[in-house]
Homo-oligomer: A and B are copies of this chain.
Amino acid sequence: MLAPALLERSDIMLSTKEILVNAKNAKNSALVTSKEDRKRAVLAMADAILENKEQILEQNRMDLENAKGKISEVMLDRLRLTPDRIKAMAESMRTVAELSDPVGKTISEYKREDGLLIKKVCVPIGVVAIIYESRPNVTADAAALCVKSGNVSVLRGGKEAFNSAKAIVDAMKSGLEKEGFDKNLVNLVEDTTRDSANELMRANGYVDLLIPRGGKGLIDACVQNATVPCIQTGTGICHIYVDKFADLEKAVKILDNAKTSRPSVCNAAEVCLVHRDVANEFLPMVYKALAEEKNVELRLCEKSAQIIKGKTAGENDFDTEFLDYILAVKIVDSTEEAIEHISLHSTGHSETIISENTEAQKLFTSLVDSAAVYVNASTRFTDGGEFGLGCEMGISTQKMHARGPMGIEEMTAYKYVIEGNGHIR
């Protein structure tokens, strides 16, 4: 209804503009769904994923064939689907279907003395574009979360996974149609060149929110070029600060977990700051637990290099998201210096203080300006599932709208609905 209808042309490629028009036109059909509708729609999408398993696996084999030799083994594994992984994908969508749905809820209400009733109501954002990489399950998760929250999704995945993503989206569309929903609630961008990403960044009037999920290059490109509202996600230079009042046994376990339990993810620690008063005792513990036992490469500031062996930290080592078995180490003179270092070098994702001193804890949690600030716990907990949100669309490292793991509530906005009876001012 809102823009010229397009002909059905499932056999030929749609331009990004055509897809955006389809998405905008689907907004109203999303807005008139009930909570029950949205749950039913997501369940139908999950069923359809299972029903079209063979087709999805076949397209995935084609992607794997094309990618062989072009991407690393780790990336190939991320791209690979199996019957079990498809089952897990459908299960994850069913979990989303069962989440509590905030859309339509009256957040607050104010009745004026003159009888005018002002309600603040939770509403979907509208058209949400997501630029992501090659894991096929992101396609299913993002689509499910958007449909559940009344949003229309425009998915733009990596080119290595295009055939898999297309098969998954086609399946989800068929599930939606079968249950009588608009199949354009879910849309896949067919152009996987940089052009389409740029087009999404500047699609004012079509895209209500852009969520880039990917490396620093993509996020920076969005910050510099996007004219649509955009949420920065994911880049994590996370710090563990070991205070002079730290329980050092606790500290080394937390540091080990934060660094080595899964080094490739954004909530892994990249930097350890150590108070000078405990450095002589703590750094040898770090050396043993991380360098010796886990083969972590240490990049040391001048002072810490006088205590343990390791590479000397270079200019960029305190500003790099290694995503690898590498840890930068620096000795600081005070909690204040640790906070200052974090303020200058952090990406605003997650930081931890290890300390048994409540004053130091309080100073740290008050002044560190990151999405998640921990006391005596691993940064690895920054995750929608771990935080009890049931799922996540990404981890926001900015302050506007959403911060930290973005669950279903963060995929909504609000509007004011005001009921009068001839009220004038």
Contacts and interface: CB of A to CB of B under 8 A. Distances in A.
A9 interface: no
Nearest to A249: B422
Given A118-B387, A340-B2, A424-B380, A372 B31 contact: no
A257 interface: yes
Interface string A238-277: 0000000001001001101110010000000000000000
Interface string A193-226: 0000000000010001100000000000001100
Contacts of A336: 1
Interface string A359-380: 0000001110111111111101
A49 B418 CA distance: 37
- Among all A-B residue pairs, the 5 with the closest Cβ atoms: A377-B420, A257-B424, A377-B423, A401-B401, A250-B422
15 contacts: A28-B367, A118-B381, A118-B387, A118-B388, A125-B399, A250-B421, A250-B422, A253-B424, A371-B415, A372-B418, A378-B425, A381-B418, A382-B416, A386-B425, A400-B413
A286 to B, nearest CB: 15
A110 B387 contact: yes
A284 interface: no
A376 B421 contact: yes
B424 A376 contact: no
Contacts of A204: 223
A348 to B, nearest CB: 9
What size tier do the contact residues of chain A reach? Answer: 35 or more
Interface string A99-130: 00000000000101000101000010110000
A414 interface: yes
A6 interface: no
A210 to B, nearest CB: 10
Contacts of A422: 247, 250, 253-254, 376-377
A330 to B, nearest CB: 17
Nearest to A421: B376
A227 interface: yes
A425 B260 CA distance: 11
Nearest to A267: B425
A244 to B, nearest CB: 18
Contact of A367 (B32, B247, B386, B398): B32
A419 interface: yes
A157 interface: no
A343 interface: yes
A229 interface: yes
Given A208-B399, A399-B208, A413-B400, A424 B370 contact: no
